[in-house]
A and B are shown apart, each in its own frame.
Chain A
Amino acid sequence: MEGKTIVITSGKGGVGKTTATASIGAALALQGKRVAVVDMDIGLRNLDVVMGLENRIVFNIVDAVKGKCKLKQAAIKDRRIENLFLIPASQSDNKNALTPEDMIEFSKELRREFDFVLIDCPAGIEQGFENSVAAADEAIVICTPEVSSVRDADRVIGLLYSRSITPKLVVNRIIPQMVENGDMLSHTDMVDVLSIELIGLVEMDDHVVISTNTGIPLIMQKDSKAGGAFRRIAMRINGRVDLPIQIPQTQGGFFKKIRHKLGLSR
């Protein structure tokens, strides 16, 4: 059976695309799938660092696409997780080194080898975005609860629709306390504006910084809330579509809810 290619994109930079790609990829691999994560941020590669594989890169995606090496040579096997492979970006080329046609051909090859191919899309909507989207069957849009992020996500959703891809939404970096106080956009407001299917809500989590810096996958940290959220997102991608979405809440959220129901809080 052919695998699925999913592009992870956002428009805006710094919303957590790379972290999400690494985490969802690791979670899918732990669920027994053969997974490749592809770094398309050519010239500014990061995914290798997040996954702790930076010192094992010999070949990169540009080499693989241009036929300088075989796919198997470019795909780096993860040390800790079976069935997880990284195809790193080139750090010395720029984004015009590849074309959408190249990527369509390359993705056919990837689909034969892997069950899931996750493409980490660069920020922006230029050549790098075009290349990443050309190869994809599905898309996940990462958006943080900020007006600027919502606007960029909206633009990207429009561009994806125009390429006949219906994206799904992940809201990242939710701070429940701020949402409760009305200082942060709630995910319902965001879904109202973006009007696409929501597949996960990820809470702001300090573990992400630790994981990024040490290269230990987020989902292997047991008490990480973000890790748990990404694990559930991976399960939804992997066929468990009916898995309910957990809404991040402050400590004591349950009692607060009861108080709210009784009309004792504002």
Chain B
Amino acid sequence: MNSSNQEKIPVRLKGKGNTLCVTLNPLESSEYLKAELNRLFKELNDPSKNANVTIDTGSANGHEELVLELAKYLKDNFGVASVSKPVKPQNKRSSINEEQIRKRDMERSWHDYQTDVLVLTGRVRSGQKVTARNHLVIMGDVNPGAEVLAGGDIIILGGLLGTAIAGQPENENSIVLALDFRPTQIQIGSYVAAGLPSSPGKITEFAHVENGNIIVENYLEANPFGRIPWPQAR
């Protein structure tokens, strides 16, 4: 907060989620700060109405009076809903804190995580097209001539003989996994792999993007997610 850039601009306004963050230099006079706030909030027009605003005075402590004064000014003039100080991350006793975070992550990090996964059972036949917004799980087979498309990963608990298009439009971290991996074509993000060599027998394989190429590997040998120390929402 004490960067030179910060000092040149005494008041900055930034939207973060549904709150407006005001960063200001508390050493400036309150009149000057009010004038600056006035200018910035006027540019915003309506969106500032009923908004939640945080006022950050940077690393400088104190200045509670100034914050209260500016809060009243904003409420009176621009109809903002609430003004508060930002919640600062606590740096003290970091080891205990980290342990708590880890514990929380391990136990229920995915509890509040919302994700779209389309789970289908049955056979996708030639000429049919399945589209999923995010991840796609098919418990069944994908026949040659069929097309499965997803915004995220494609997981097929069965044979993949058709075309699988994952990570649309540009999620290149997506994978395509099938218990019997014999696709006609694979696309991940903007990468295309056509004419994949046929693998011998029924092996659980997955395709992913590595250095700008689509790589197909034995899933159990590569175990791509085994190195993540605890479960994470994907």
Contacts and interface: CB of A to CB of B under 8 A. Distances in A.
Q: Identify whether the interface residues of A are mostly helix, strand, loop, or mixed.
A: helix
A31 interface: no
B14 interface: no
A33 interface: no
Contact of A157 (B125, B141, B144, B161): B125
A159 B125 CA distance: 9
A155 B123 contact: no
Interface in B131-158: 141, 143-145
Q: Identify whether the interface residues of B are mostly helix, strand, loop, or mixed.
A: loop
Interface in B90-124: 123
Question: Contact residue range for chain B?
Answer: 10 to 19
A152 interface: yes
Question: Contact residue range for chain A?
Answer: 10 to 19
Interface in A156-180: 157-159, 161
A177 to B, nearest CB: 25
B128 interface: yes
A123 to B, nearest CB: 15
A159 B126 CA distance: 10
Nearest to A195: B123
A139 B125 CA distance: 17
A152 B126 contact: yes
A159 B128 CA distance: 9
Contacts of A158: 125-128
20 contacts: A147-B144, A151-B126, A151-B143, A151-B144, A152-B126, A154-B125, A154-B126, A154-B145, A155-B125, A155-B126, A155-B127, A157-B125, A158-B126, A158-B128, A159-B127, A161-B125, A193-B143, A193-B144, A193-B161, A195-B141
Interface of B: 123, 125-128, 141, 143-145, 161
Given A159-B127, A193-B141, 10 more contacts: A147-B144, A150-B144, A151-B126, A154-B127, A154-B144, A158-B125, A158-B127, A193-B144, A193-B161, A195-B123
